[in-house]
Structure 1
Amino acid sequence: MHIVGTARRRDTLPAGTFHLAVACILFDERGNVLVQQRSLHKLSHPGAWELGAGGSALRGEDGPAAATREVQEEMQLAVSVPRTAMFARDFYSTWIEEWFVVQSTIALADVHMQVSEVAQVKLLTLADARKLLTAAGINGQVARLDAAAALLGLS
């Protein structure tokens, strides 16, 4: 990856230029997964359920740094996301998305949501998370959950 400058979300990127986006799935020590409902005011997928926290990298951030910051901003959880936690990288028309998974001590009482991003959070078993994401989640979330759980030996 080579950093070529800065852009705002509304900017059109030149062909062959991409911005970096990240997502971090969080599991507690018992193997439950943290899911979040997107704010009803989001431009894309308002009110949908998704895994963990995520967003675009800021200038100078690599994937792990961006994922660590996003978890802190959206959930107020101090979780360090190492490079070795990345389990997927997807390429889209104008962005690259890196997926990370972290297992840590998490309690719902410790989660303080960024209300502009998150409407509510739940800590669910894998089975319950699959049901919720199938019924009201964004496409591909169950496959991401299964891949992350398998990486941690939780499936």
Structure 2
Amino acid sequence: MEMVDLYDENRLPLGRTAERYAPKGEGEYRVVVHICVFDSRGRLLIQQRSREKAVWPEAWDVSAAGGVDAGETSRQAAEREFREELGVALDLTGVRPSCTVNFDGGFDDFFLVERDLGLEELTLQKEEVARARWAELPEILDMVDRGEFIDYPKSFLAFLFDMRGTFGFCTK
């Protein structure tokens, strides 16, 4: 059973935990991380979620994502999720999320990283990830239109691409 820390609407810790997918009480929120790895050509590493995933099975998504476990920081969770899902160590020491987006159940922290990775360097976690590849923004937007990519707002995906090379961008 995966446990998560609970926060209030201001992201202050409530000092309580809950099961990750259990319904949360009024004013209780959790944190999720998303890692967006761009290469030096400006392409985003995307992954296709496995068909066994409970949420968004077989949909394409950003490089890696997942819940922040109880006792973990957002940065620690981002490093762990990237290592678990793609088999590559990612050092985010001193790096804060580039942006945070509120969703009904909590906070989505997005880490933007530039790293030239060869697909052959990846070791996909079969329970989580079916495939991975590099894609440019127009291609991802077409995938959203076809229902193949998680339905992030297209303007938000463009924002992530626009944020490359600006504040909060990690090149480690």
Query: Which TM-score bucket, shorter chain as reference?
Result: 0.7 to 0.9
The residue aligned with 2:88 is 77
Q: Write out the 4+ residue segments of structure 1 that deviate beyond 4 Å after TM superposition.
A: 82-85
The runs of 5 or more residues in structure 2 that have no matched partner are 1-11, 167-172
- For 2:112, what is the secondary structure of its paired residue? strand
Consecutive unaligned residues in structure 1, runs of 5 or more:
none
CA shift, 1:9, in A, is 2.2
Of structures 1 and 2, the one with the larger relative CO (CA 8 A, separation 6+) is: 1
By how many angstroms is 1:83 displaced? 6.0
SS in structure 1 at match of 2:142: helix
TM-score, length basis structure 2: 0.79
TM-aligned CA distance change 1:62 to 1:91, over 3 Å: same
Between the two proteins, what is the percent identity of the paired residues?
26
Which amino acid is 1:147 matched to? F
Equivalent residue for 1:110? 121
Match of 1:17 among 28, 43, 57: 28
Whichever structure has more strand as a proportion of its residues is 2
Instruction: Measure how far apart 1:89 and its partner are.
Output: 1.5
Give the number of equivalent residue pairs.
154
Whether the aligned pair in 2 keeps the contact of 1:57 and 1:66 (CA below 8 Å) is yes
State the distance in 2 between where 1:35 and 1:23 align. 11
TM-score after normalising by structure 1: 0.87
CA distance in 2, matches of 1:141, 1:37: 18
Partners of 1:91 and 1:146 in 2: how far apart? 18
Aligned position for 2:49: 38
The structure in which a higher percent of residues are helix is 1
CA 50–134 in structure 1, closer or farther in 2 if over 3 Å, else same:
farther
Partner of 1:147: 159
RMSD of aligned Cα (Å) = 2.1
Distance 1:6 1:111, change over 3 A: same
